[in-house]
Structure 1
Amino acid sequence: MEKHGDIRRYTFLTRVWSFFRKCLFSVLSFGPMPKHVAFIMDGNRRFAKNKGIEQGGGHRVGFSALTSTLQYCYEMGIDYVTIYAFSIDNFKRKPDEVQSTMRLMQEKIDELLKEESVVSEYGVRINFWGDLSLLSEPVRLAAEKAMVSTAKNTGPVLSVCMAYTSTNEIMHAVQKSCGEKICRIQEQYADGHDEDMGSILVADLEQHFYTSGCPDPDILIRTSGETRLSNFLLWQTTFTHLQNPAPLWPEFSLMHLVWAVLMYQKAYPYLKEASSTIKKMH
């Protein structure tokens, strides 16, 4: 009987918590809501050190924070969430730490595809952005499987930046754009034409970014109080509201997310005016 009573109490509290969130998000929706929020999930290792838990333990708690944050974002109606999971620069860490992180990534990617996951619940489509050839084969295959498995989903979009830096993304786009330009020039010569193909344009680069087809972030949140972008979405964050809340990533909660949206709503008139001014200048 006691067990059934505990289950009933848990179910009741879950429903109350869900109702509270719906009310809160309904109030928030009276202001301008972000369509795209990006996260630099900083502080997993410091959290583990502070709590005295084993290597990788902070990342496991961080994954739980990510799952909850994704759920809150999707309940708010945020259509795009992008996370910085692993930088190319992170490969410079100790080999055993990199290997441990790769194993954890594979495990968590597989978890995202389970039937009871937030991905299944909301019909999320998953992207993996970065030089995936740098990943260990099991992680790369897991990422490719996740993209194929969710490709037809019509719900929100989760983009995971792995083996990623913004400079690498820009270099990739330049190489692709130059390659296309050279091919078109060769085709023109082969057809007997000698037309000026012009320069490579910004639009040429942007269509080859990993982020092509995704709106620029409205908010970029880096936890742990750090103010660096660490080579993350440098091109795409020109008019993004940058925030650096103090909590370490595993400590990031609904309260912090709601506060981030409120700060964005407060800054929205300025961000909109700045964006409109720059567009008029061009």
Structure 2
Amino acid sequence: MLRSRIEPLYERYLQWQVKHIPRHVAVIQDGNRRFARNQGLETAFGHRRGADTTEEFLDWACDLGVRYTTLYTFSTENFRRDREELTSLFALFQEKFRAILKDERVHRNHIRVQMIGDRSLLPDDLLATIDAAEKATQEYADYYINVALAYGGRNEIVHAARSILEGVKRGAINPAAIDPATVEAHLHRGAPIPPVDLIIRTGNDYRTSNFLPWLANGHESAVYFCAPYWPAFRKIDLLRAMRVYDQRMLLKERTDRRA
């Protein structure tokens, strides 16, 4: 009872503290399975609760003015999990991408949805649903949600290198003109993704797990690690993460003024 009264006040206090809103927030959604195990429940329960948290998170981010959100939903390493869990996960992904087609929040807020990752690794029926969601939102440009599926950071850079080499072979790219902007233009198909301002990792694990190495590590993004498992993540946790980014920006401004 007391907590339900205090939390809204603390949320407002945190939001008042944050003066700099990150343009691009990337999230490593960790802890779904541990959340379920701690409650003596099946893994599928944790993944579904995590998916519910994702929807809440996207609402919070949109309300706070975060224009780009990238969600580390399924890595290339996750394919090592047992077949039953993979089948359940792919069904859940398909359900959520299908829901995008009729989600009034997506269309009201003009949110573009796209997948980043190795499409060749995903089942055809899931890919068809992802393609439909991307096509339905491809004209939107107010907010962007990037879903990292079958994603690996090193794999991403390998694919970009192959794409650039193909451009060189066709004569479309001058090798002498290749620069960081060229690499960024070939990292993902679809809408360009700006550098990451803030990475959030849940689940009390202190590593960035090969996530967006070019756009995050290469641009020295702020990082916020927190203890809650992803299904237990709250708006307060997001605001605390944004406060870390805000503090970094304030320090940068002071440093720039002294220079």
TM-score bucket (shorter structure): 0.7 to 0.9
1:124 to partner: Cα distance: 1.0
- Larger RCO (alpha carbons 8 Å, 6+ apart): 2
Q: Distance in 1 between matches of 2:161 and 2:249?
A: 32
Pick one of 163, 170, 175 that aligns with 2:150. 163
- Residue of structure 2 in register with 1:52 after alignment: 40
With over 3 angstroms needed to count, the CA separation of the structure-2 counterparts of 1:114 and 1:207, relative to structure 1, is same
- Residue of structure 2 in register with 1:190 after alignment: none
- Residue of structure 2 in register with 1:220 after alignment: 199
Q: Distance in 2 between matches of 1:87 and 1:260?
A: 23
* Matched AA of 1:250: P
Pick one of 213, 226, 247 that aligns with 1:234. 213
With over 3 angstroms needed to count, the CA separation of the structure-2 counterparts of 1:22 and 1:257, relative to structure 1, is closer
More divergent stretch after superposition (20-29 vs 53-62): 20-29
Q: Confirm whether residue 27 of structure 1 aligns to residue 16 of structure 2.
A: yes
Does the 8 A contact of 1:178 with 1:200 survive in 2?
A: no
Q: Distance in 2 between matches of 1:223 and 1:41?
A: 6
With over 3 angstroms needed to count, the CA separation of the structure-2 counterparts of 1:28 and 1:139, relative to structure 1, is farther
1:269 to partner: Cα distance: 3.7
> Secondary structure, in 3 states, of the residue corresponding to 2:145?
strand
Q: Distance in 2 between matches of 1:255 and 1:43?
A: 18
With over 3 angstroms needed to count, the CA separation of the structure-2 counterparts of 1:52 and 1:272, relative to structure 1, is farther
Stretches of structure 2 lacking an aligned partner (at least 5 in a row): none
Q: Distance in 2 between matches of 1:164 and 1:204?
A: 21
Stretches of structure 1 lacking an aligned partner (at least 5 in a row): 1-15, 188-195, 277-282
Q: Distance in 1 between matches of 2:85 and 2:253?
A: 42
- Residue of structure 2 in register with 1:72 after alignment: 60
Does the 8 A contact of 2:22 with 2:66 survive in 1?
A: yes
> Secondary structure, in 3 states, of the residue corresponding to 2:115?
strand
Q: Distance in 1 between matches of 2:97 and 2:32?
A: 18
**CA deviation vs aligned residue, 1:82-111 (integer Å, no higher than 9, x gap):** 000111111111122111111111112112
- Residue of structure 1 in register with 2:180 after alignment: 202
Higher Rg: 1
What TM-score does the superposition give when structure 1 sets the normalisation length? 0.80
With over 3 angstroms needed to count, the CA separation of the structure-2 counterparts of 1:204 and 1:137, relative to structure 1, is same
Q: Distance in 1 between matches of 2:175 and 2:35?
A: 54
> Secondary structure, in 3 states, of the residue corresponding to 1:37?
strand
Aligned residues: 247
* Matched AA of 2:115: F
What TM-score does the superposition give when structure 2 sets the normalisation length? 0.86
Q: Confirm whether residue 141 of structure 1 aligns to residue 122 of structure 2.
A: no
Query: Which ranges of 4 or more aligned residues in structure 1 deviate by more than 4 Å?
Result: 19-26, 270-274
1:112 to partner: Cα distance: 2.8
> Secondary structure, in 3 states, of the residue corresponding to 1:127?
strand
1:28 to partner: Cα distance: 4.6
Q: State the identity as a percent.
A: 32
Does the 8 A contact of 1:87 with 1:163 survive in 2?
A: yes
> Secondary structure, in 3 states, of the residue corresponding to 1:114?
coil
- Residue of structure 2 in register with 1:11 after alignment: none
* Matched AA of 1:101: L
RMSD: 2.7
1:114 to partner: Cα distance: 2.4
Does the 8 A contact of 1:40 with 1:83 survive in 2?
A: yes
